[in-house]
Amino acid sequence: MLRIKRVPTVVSNYQEDETENVSRSTGCGRNCLNKCCIEGAKIPLYAFKKLNKISGSKGLCCEYENSVPPVAFLDSLLLGEWEDRMQRGLFRYDVTACETKVIPGKYGFIAQLNEGRHLKKRPTEFRVDKVLQPFDGNKFNFTKVGQEEVLFRFEANENGNTQFIPNDAIDLENSPSVVAINVSPIEYGHVLLIPRILDCLPQRIDRESFLLALHMATEAGNTYFRLGYNSLGAFATINHLHFQAYYLGVPFPIEKAPTKKIMTLKDGVIISELLKYPVRGLVFEGGNTLQSLSNSVSDACICLQENNIPYNILIADCGQRIFLLPQCYAEKQALGEVSAELLDTQVNPAVWEISGHMVLKRKKDYEEASEENAWRLLAVVSLSEERFQEVCALIFEVIDTVDAENTEGSSSMPEEHDDGCLKEVEARNNTTRPLPMTGTKECLV
């Protein structure tokens, strides 16, 4: 049984329905993050040092060879501030009271019982058949949350050094990137990274925002701190650009899966295919610079977005490995191809579930949790082999493959899953469906 520190929490005063009456002394009266309230506000600033070269035996994590950042980013600042917000009652429920366990088996899927989370979580307010949709300020977005939910700003230091300023005034001319609590957490320390919050960007990856997320992973310097991203159509619930992150003290099952190297790009980025895992995906790692790794992944994401293909991302190993996972669960739901048994679980397979952290809504499912059941659920998420190869072809067309070295070979990672699930997965997923393309067809979700 996994255990995390328990702290009593109550519902946040800043997450009530917006129709409720509030006192309006200044701005909108909610002390929100929008321009009506944020002028003159002071929010802590963590200004990070931009990393360029990948150096040291720990790769991207070891830029500080002769010095230590002034704040122990993950353990001291992030978790300390997150704990403070728990004590102040800014969460919808107490996630520390949720039962969690590692499911016996080769991959070690993690199960959490979080009864009622889907009822307390903000509902999706946009179409799920379009990966790209314009930002709508009339719907919920992160400028409407209270400033109390922000832990700190996270921005590059133009002076080149890491610096922490506890009480720094916001420059409205330069939209700040902020780290805020997730008021519906699924793990201790669950936060959101919101790039350039005042620019009101829709949920879509661009080069600048993805590089910011990679910097956060490298700055944390802890392999148990991962960032995730859900596109629209892949269970993102808010159409305002954001990444999620939290600390989990065990490996994700997806991190244990073997991979097969597909190619090495001219800038040193290695692209591999995920093997012997219920969801097909690509793994990006290496690169001569952090920028080159970031560009390769973000260009792949932009390709998926423009072709209306939903996807999830997991940033692991302090930013050294990125899992890119196109998926079609919502599409299969719309086509009636998901069994009633799986639908009854009410599990929406977003990045954390796909990576192996299963958030279960019913006690029955938690008590009966098994590696086989987790495998069966995630199998429905995956593209068929034929469709996955079509998607990969689209991605490789847009990624710079000049002078790429095409190689093959498997790693010496875990052996093939032998509980019988894999054959069933392959049979189910080899059903071919036309690939949705921009301007010709729409995703059917």
Q: Which residues touch 436 (CB under 8 Å, ≥6 apart)?
A: 307, 308, 309, 442, 443, 444
d(CA 209, CA 206): 6
The 110-113 sheet, strands edge to edge: 100-102, 110-113, 357-360
Could you tell me which residues are beta bridge partners of residue 28?
A: none
Which of 355, 320, 353, 316 is closest to 226 using CA atoms?
Answer: 316
Q: For residue 281, what are its two tokens? A: 């995906």
Backbone angles phi, psi at 323, to 5 degrees: -100, 125
* Region of residue 12 (left: phi > 0; alpha: psi -120 to 50; beta: else): beta
Q: Please indicate whether residue 242 is annotated as part of the active site.
A: yes
Could you tell me which residues are beta bridge partners of residue 230?
A: 312
* H or E element, residue 391: helix 385-398
Could you tell me which residues are beta bridge partners of residue 164?
A: 46
Whether residue 372 contacts residue 358, with contact meaning beta carbons closer than 8 Å, is answered with: no
Task: Determine the number of helices (DSSP H) and then strands (DSSP E) in the chain.
Answer: 13, 16
Q: For residue 197, what are its two tokens? A: 């919050």
Length of the chain: 445
Q: Which of 215, 242, 357, 417 is catalytic?
A: 242
Residue matched to tokens 């579930």: 353
Q: Which residues touch 423 (CB under 8 Å, ≥6 apart)?
A: none
d(CA 445, CA 442): 9
Q: For residue 57, what are its two tokens? A: 């035996």
Whether residue 360 contacts residue 347, with contact meaning beta carbons closer than 8 Å, is answered with: yes
d(CA 342, CA 49): 45
Positions marked active-site: 242
